[in-house]
Structure 1
Amino acid sequence: MTNAKPNYLFADTHEWADLQSDGLVWVGISDHAQIALGDVVFLETPAVGAVVEQGNACAVIESVKAASDIHAPVSGTVVAVNSAAIDAPETINQDPYGTWLFKIQTVSVESQTQELARLHSLAQYESTLN
Structure 2
Amino acid sequence: MKTQDTFKFAETHEWASIEDDGLVWVGISNHAQEALGDVMFFQAPKIGQEVKQGEAIAAIESVKAASDIHAPISGEIISLNEEMDAAPEMVNENPYAVWLFKVKPTSPETLSADLGTLMSLAKYESTAGA
Task: Provide the rounded CA distance (Å) in 1 between the counterparts of 2:109 and 2:103.
Answer: 15
Superposed CA RMSD in Å reads: 1.2
**Residue 54 (structure 1) aligns with:** 53
Q: How does 1:37-116 map to 2 (within 5 A)?
A: 37-116=36-115
- Write the letter of the residue equivalent to 1:50: Q
Confirm whether residue 23 of structure 1 aligns to residue 12 of structure 2: no
Q: Counterparts of 2:39 and 2:17 in 1: how far apart (Å)?
A: 22
1:124 aligns with 2:115: no
Return structure 1 stretches of 4+ with deviation > 6 angstroms. none
Aligned residues: 128
2: distance between equivalents of 1:89 and 1:69?
15
Amino acid in the other structure paired with 1:22: D
Unaligned runs of 5+ in 1: none
Q: Describe the superposition over 1:47-79 as per-residue Cα deviations: whole angstroms up to 9, x where unpaired.
A: 110111100100000000011100000000000
Between the aligned partners of 1:30 and 1:94, the Cα distance in structure 2 is 12
Q: Structure 2: which amino acid aligns with 1:29?
A: I
Partners of 2:85 and 2:32 in 1: CA distance: 17
Structure 2 unaligned blocks of 5 or more: none
With normalisation by structure 1, the TM-score equals 0.95
Match for 2:115: what amino acid? L
The CA distance in 2 between the partners of 1:107 and 1:129, in whole Å, is: 28
**Alpha-carbon deviation of 1:85?**
1.5
Identity between Structure 1 and Structure 2 (%): 54
Hey, what's the Cα distance between the residues in 1 that align with 2:99 and 2:68?
A: 16
Give the TM-score taking structure 2 as reference length. Answer: 0.95
Specify whether residues 98 and 77 from structure 1 end up closer, same or farther in structure 2 by C-alpha distance, changes over 3 A only. same
